[in-house]
Amino acid sequence: MRKKIVAGNWKMNLDYTSGMSLISEVLNMVNDEVRGDQEVIVCPPAVLVYSVAQLAKGNPKVSVGAQNCHEAESGAFTGEISASQIKSVGAQYVILGHSERRQYFGETNELLAKKTDAVLKNGLKPIFCIGETLEERNQNIHFQLIKDQLAEGVFHLSAEEFAKVVLAYEPVWAIGTGVTASPEQAQEVHEFIRKEVAAKYGEEVAEDTTILYGGSCNPKNAADLFAQKDIDGGLIGGASLKSRDFTDIITKFNK
Ligand code: PGA
């Protein structure tokens, strides 16, 4: 059975004090709302991962992730953070290939394949983001683009390794814009992604793969999105910064 996941991506928001308040509120609120087949993941900025993980440690329903890592094990890479360092402070996940990383930091599928390897090698799980810009959608090349992002970013993995990957479809035009993909638009792409996974790794692996939707997901639209057959939860940006909104989204699974 594939897991239902709601993951919060805090991006470069909150300082130590406000981050600690937010995670404390989330931990207090989620307990009764998270079913056995669900997981909540909180991805704070790197400097807060340790403190957030310390607080979340006693809660089996809440995991912690980083938002990026370097592809090397260690070395002279000033300002960077390795997967083993992230692992050592208590995280379980790393978001990879977020469109902001691709756009502002020039991350390519080739680099992301290396980061994926580093994450898995260190016993962490990648939340691997894929998705098209509005221009790419208007040119009707989004399916091909997503196919390439998968093929070049994660399809070099063995089936056993791939089973640890969470995918996140995040149409770039919906991120932080308040314009969300319609449930039908999102479902169409999620179904395509699952078919690609099935073609590469077989039906069973594809059925077990968690595919999150991300892009202006909020308490109002989450239920309709999560009701789609191939949408297994959300990667939440803006709405993950408010404990009530974030925990409300967690309650929107009806399947
Ligand atoms: P948003 O961001 O929910 O603020 O649109 C989603 C994301 O970038 O992960």
Q: What is the pLDDT of residue 208?
A: 97
pTM: 0.97
Is the CB of residue 175 below 6 angstroms from any atom belonging to ligand 1?
yes
Q: What is the pLDDT of residue 255?
A: 46
Between CA 64 and CA 51 the distance in angstroms is 10
CB-based contacts of 17: which residues, under 8 Å, 6+ apart? none
The token duo for 107 is 């991350």
For a ligand 1 pocket test, name from 43, 101, 132, 216 the mutation site with the most ligand atoms within 8 angstroms of its C-beta.
216
CB-based contacts of 76: which residues, under 8 Å, 6+ apart? none
Contact 128, 167 (CB under 8 A): yes
C-alpha 42 – ligand 1 centre gap (Å): 13
Q: What positions carry a catalytic annotation?
A: 98, 170
pLDDT means over runs of 10, the chain (255 residues): 95 98 94 82 98 95 97 98 98 98 97 98 98 94 98 98 98 89 96 98 98 96 97 98 96 78
Q: What is the pLDDT of residue 101?
A: 98
Is the CB of residue 153 below 6 angstroms from any atom belonging to ligand 1?
no
C-alpha 76 – ligand 1 centre gap (Å): 32
Alpha helices, H only, 46-104: 46-56, 83-88, 99-104
What domains lie within the chain, and their CATH numbers? Answer: 5-253 (3.20.20.70)
For a ligand 1 pocket test, name from 67, 102, 170 the mutation site with the most ligand atoms within 8 angstroms of its C-beta.
170
Between CA 206 and CA 115 the distance in angstroms is 22
- Nearest atom within ligand 1 for CA of residue 175: 5
Q: What is the pLDDT of residue 31?
A: 73
Between CA 193 and CA 172 the distance in angstroms is 16
C-alpha 164 – ligand 1 centre gap (Å): 22
Residue 234, strand partner residues: 6, 213
